[in-house]
Amino acid sequence: MALEPCCLQSRLLFLRAPIYSAAGCSLHKGIQPRGNLLDKDMFSKSDPLCVMYTQGMENKQWREFGRTEVIDNTLNPDFVRKFIVDYFFEEKQNLRFDLYDVDSKSPDLSKHDFLGQAFCTLGEIVGSPGSRLEKSLTIGAFSLNSRTGKPMPAVSNGSGLWMESLRTTGLEASGGVPGKKCGTIILSAEELSNCRDVATMQFCANKLDKKDFFGKSDPFLVFYRSNEDGTFTICHKTEVMKNTLNPVWQTFSIPVRALCNGDYDRTIKVEVYDWDRDGSHDFIGEFTTSYRELARGQSQFNIYEVVNPKKKMKKKKYVNSGTVTLLSFAVESECTFLDYIKGGTQINFTVAIDFTASNGNPSQSTSLHYMSPYQLNAYALALTAVGEIIQHYDSDKMFPALGFGAKLPPDGRVSHEFPLNGNQENPSCCGIDGILEAYHHSLRTVQLYGPTNFAPVVTHVARNAATVQDGSQYSVLLIITDGVISDMAQTKEAIVNPWWSWMVMTCGSPPGESWPSGTLSSSCPSGTTWTAQATTC
């Protein structure tokens, strides 16, 4: 089970008192673009994706927070994927939402067509009636790429009047075509409950209505949870079962707080559709249930009639459009980071440092390895920033420290896996200060060389992590590097194969090739950047 970082903040019910201290709560945000998005595809409709950005409090830079799933062939998408955001009453939390028409599998947003954007604050969403805010999607003339003429996302100038830059001109459309509207986006927020349960369930259906002229139906289920204002928010879609009126869908898992926000009696609406390639899925019928009913498991209480209200009104003899049956239901609690720590899990922290020549001559002040008598260099700052946090979760404070990309004395052999303390049998150093001491010693004894190979140190730590099978230890590898990885394919292979967690930090120029999905980005001391990803057994 993956470890989840825990946010140790006081929880609050927003808008209950006029003044708050620096406390926060987690909000569940839903996104529903509406009002016909721009249609960028010639022979079909757009395949929209929404990207959410948050703005830094100090530097005013926009940072990507997350992306929804892509919904094929529709101008009115209802995204399932939600964003969990920490809400602070006393802060102005600026948000930006960019909509794209996805044309390929590339994660590079510049490869896709920009459909429009909306700006707001988290407080606007929370303070709206029912915590539900509708904003217009806009493309202004200022946001057209001067070279290609394609619409590009607007950026804030960092001033207090950042919303003013959103005023649109007549070029509010695809490629600057006057007169077209970009549609609207509906943003909703709800405070998350403390429920950490995850429900796993499976459904089947019998005798669903036949919707296809030359075949049967291609049914799928869409789950909605009810909101406090009586509206519904999508929370799950099953896969499509092709050409059958008696489908058996795959088992799926969903957090209980996503399904009903921990309210066991809250209405859950399930709609049944027949999938169509053009995106105009045919409505078969619907039924309602609740978590409390589902928790009864497979029984007579969990056989539901699928009813189409329009058919029921028109036909007196109409009974139903089939039935849906719950085949299985199970619940287990999701462990947090603190649960693991309280249970005795130890974090094994290993650091690997880049000693390649691209860092520059350590004797020169321009080098990332330059040892100034007055301040720490970029590598030492990065190591300290991460190490000082993580060291408190390791009881013996002994951390293996490795180097790669250097020629070692006395024969000048190039190594991509050498101990900074010179001890091949035991590369561990005592505390972060011990790692810094070994790092400075290595700078004086090895020759910076290359290339930048990660795979050897990744394999080294993975091999050690694999020796512990009882879950009592959680291994983290911090790689600090300055640039392009030379063995990206081998590194990805080394990461994917073993079951362990890893973290990568880059100081200076970022890697030139993308990491596997799930990569996160943030800021490090002295303007460096870091990229991190974790996978666990």
Q: Are residues 279 and 393 in the same domain?
A: no
> Is 349 a member of any domain?
yes
Check: CB of residue 266 under 8 Å from CB of residue 225: yes
d(CA 207, CA 246): 6
Q: Are residues 174 and 282 in the same domain?
A: no
From 59-63, 146-150, 270-274, the region with the lowest mean pLDDT: 146-150
Q: Are residues 170 and 286 in the same domain?
A: no
d(CA 429, CA 383): 13
pLDDT in tens, 10-39: 222 222 222 222 234 556 556 665 555 666
175, 191, 207 — which closes off a domain? Answer: 191
Widest pairwise Cα distance in the chain: 93
Q: Are residues 206 and 326 in the same domain?
A: yes
Give the residue-averaged pLDDT of 228-235: 86
**Domain, as residue range, for 508:** 344-532
Structure tokens at 514: 């993308």
> Is 60 a member of any domain?
yes
> Is 2 a member of any domain?
no
d(CA 33, CA 363): 56
Count Cβ atoms below 10 Å from residue 359 Cβ, excluding itself. 26
d(CA 188, CA 194): 19
Residue 502, pLDDT > 90, answer: no
d(CA 525, CA 252): 42
142, 161, 191 — which closes off a domain? Answer: 191
The tally of domains found in the chain comes to 3
Q: Are residues 453 and 404 in the same domain?
A: yes
pLDDT in tens, 333-372: 888 777 888 788 888 899 999 999 999 999 999 999 999 9
Please give the pLDDT value at position 227.
Answer: 86
Please give the pLDDT value at position 230.
Answer: 83
168, 191, 214 — which closes off a domain? Answer: 191
> Is 11 a member of any domain?
no
Q: Are residues 175 and 207 in the same domain?
A: no
> Is 10 a member of any domain?
no
> Is 16 a member of any domain?
no
Q: Are residues 205 and 187 in the same domain?
A: no
Check: CB of residue 20 under 8 Å from CB of residue 12: yes
More confidently predicted of 246 and 20 = 246
d(CA 297, CA 48): 36
Give the residue-averaged pLDDT of 87-110: 89
Check: CB of residue 53 under 8 Å from CB of residue 64: yes
CATH of the domain at 79: 2.60.40.150
Q: Are residues 173 and 205 in the same domain?
A: no
CATH of the domain at 387: 3.40.50
> Is 115 a member of any domain?
yes
Q: Are residues 225 and 369 in the same domain?
A: no
Between the alpha carbon of residue 97 and those of residues 105, 107, 161, 227, the distances in Å are: 20, 17, 18, 22
Q: Are residues 497 and 375 in the same domain?
A: yes
> Is 12 a member of any domain?
no
Q: Are residues 185 and 43 in the same domain?
A: yes
Q: Are residues 187 and 268 in the same domain?
A: no
